Amino acid sequence: MNILLKSAKIINAQNSELHLKKRDILIKNGIIDTIATKIEAPKGVKTVALKNLHVSLGWFDSSVSFGEPGFEERETISNGLHTAALSGFTDVVLNPNTHPLADSSSDIVFLKNASLDFASNLYPLGCMTMGAEGKDLAELYDMRNAGAVGFYDFKSPITNSNLLKIALQYVQNFDGLLYSQPLDVNIAGKAEVHEGITSTKLGLKGIPAMAEELQIVRDLFILEYTGGKLHIPTISTANAVKLIADAKKKGLDVSCSVAIHNLYFTDELLEEFDSSYKVYPPLRTKKDTKALIKALNDGLIDFVTTDHIPLNVELKAVEFDNATHGAIGLESAFGLLHQIYDLEKCIELLTQGRERYHIKENKFVEGNKASLTLFDPDLEYVFDKEKIRSTSKNSMVLGQTLKGKVYGIYNNNQLVLET
């Protein structure tokens, strides 16, 4: 598809000649052909002129769940990738959160084939252990060859320390990336929310910050012993940041992410017993959110994620104790993050992280592939169900005033715009 973006303000700090400049951008057959102050539309080229149009390199999300196969009522791959595109994401890493779980090369091949020909790219994770049961290693090498970008027993901690040790040693043979969920299950028990003043007041069992931090300490000790590459997903406490920062100073190959909602919301919202706010890791305190925000500013946390988890209504519209953890986050990601950071920092955070997964990073220059996100950063609006394109509607952001509207993306020679 050939298109001409008119009067687009470019947000790309890596290119000082274009950064914060308004330009016309001509794209031919998926390649950036010309960037100039003014371009007349050639014959047969679609002109895209949108109010307050801004454009950046395509956004990246390291943690999304859909439902297919097995939970198509939550989300299909097709609708999930369309939602990602309308939310500004050209590349998403898919969690093994399906039935059956992705623990073999054939499962990875299915996911790759099902995601062909879409504007947004899908990069699957495979389970680290068979059936995510934490007992026997899955077919890690075969899954890597089939296209898996990492290995993760989704939201399930690896309780067997020796198994993690062996896995870290094994994946070094092919530069594999392992995930370890930061939760000591013996400390957490059957708790549902953050342990603190709010949980005590409400009579809810709490997960202490220590449960996250003890697991991280264990994982980092093992990593120091074995070497290898470790990713700690969705950290949520102030001390977790310090532990990982210290490990990086030692030279350990460890990365971490944080869910955008853990930067914005706190456990005080649980006073209404609204299961929309029941997520894992749990919403923590204001002290924690401040520490996480600062850590992103300082580069101590590697990237943000939506931690998008669609759930059908019967899993959320129940008593708080019985509700399933999880919330969708793709559609509200930019508007929520832009409430916390200025525009340039927002785009920096939304575009970083690919190198951890050996995903090629594009550059905003003529002759390169066009992988772009289109948006208006200044539009303020109330986020309601009409803004949700996911099949599931389990959002914790409903009713919030957000800043920044995504128009869509251009990627893989396809233009996807909100209609």
Residues tagged active-site: 307
DSSP 318: S
All residues at 6 or more sequence positions from 184 whose CB lies less than 8 Å from its CB, including other chains? 157, 210, 211, 212, 214, 215, 218
Amino acid found at 230: L
DSSP H helical ranges for 115-208: 140-146, 161-171, 185-188, 197-202
Could you give the angle at which helices 209-226 and 238-249 cross, rounded to 10 degrees? 10
Decide: 370 and 32 in contact? Cβ < 8 Å. Answer: yes
Strand partners for 259: 305
What SS3 class is residue 106? Answer: helix
How large is the C-alpha radius of gyration of the chain?
Answer: 21
Helices and strands, counts by H and E, the chain: 12, 17
Do 12 and 363 meet the contact criterion of CB atoms below 8 Å apart?
no
Q: Which residues contact 174 (CB under 8 A, 6 or more apart)?
A: 141, 144
How many C-beta neighbours within 10 Å does residue 217 have? 17
CA separation for the pair 360, 364 (Å, rounded):
13
Instruction: Give the sign of the dihedral formed by CA 285, CA 155, CA 305, CA 300.
Output: positive
**Three-state DSSP class for 334?**
helix
DSSP strand pairing (177-179 vs 229-232): parallel
Find residue 28's DSSP bridge partners: 31
Q: What angle do CA 158, 164, 170 make, to 5 degrees?
A: 140
Strands 31-36 and 22-28 turn out to be antiparallel
